[in-house]
Amino acid sequence: MTPTENVIVFNLGDVRMFRLQCKKCGAVRSYLPTRWERIPATCGNCDETWNMGLGEQTLKNFSDAVEALLNASDRLKFKFQMELPKP
């Protein structure tokens, strides 16, 4: 297990938005965790191709799983947490 002094621990419910940032121009699109159903085909700013074959069903499954975990959080006997390395 990772020592907590080297990571930032947060709950799934703390996530406000998921962000997609274009690697070419830096433009950002943000999505609510439970309302994210597709990756745009291209960047809305520079038209760089984004959706390189990642199926919409994959993203829909991810969004549905996040929503299910958030809805069940009061009934679960554990906290669903994530961790990031500290900058």
pTM above 0.85, yes or no: no
Asked if residue 53 has pLDDT above 80, the reply is no
Q: In whole angstroms, what is the distance from residue 13 CA to residue 48 CA?
A: 32
**Residue 7, Ramachandran bin (φ over 0: left; ψ between -120 and 50: alpha; else beta):** beta
Residue in 30, 55, 29, 61 with CA at minimum distance from that of residue 42: 29
Joined tokens for residue 1: 């297990």
For 16-43, write each residue's pLDDT tens digit. 998 989 999 999 999 888 777 778 889 9
pLDDT value for 79 = 87
pLDDT value for 34 = 77
pLDDT value for 45 = 97
pLDDT value for 4 = 60
Asked if residue 55 has pLDDT above 70, the reply is no
Q: Could you tell me the CA-to-CA distances from 82 to 8, 34, 42, 53 in Å, in that order?
A: 8, 17, 29, 27
Q: Where exactly are the structural domains of the chain?
A: 4-79
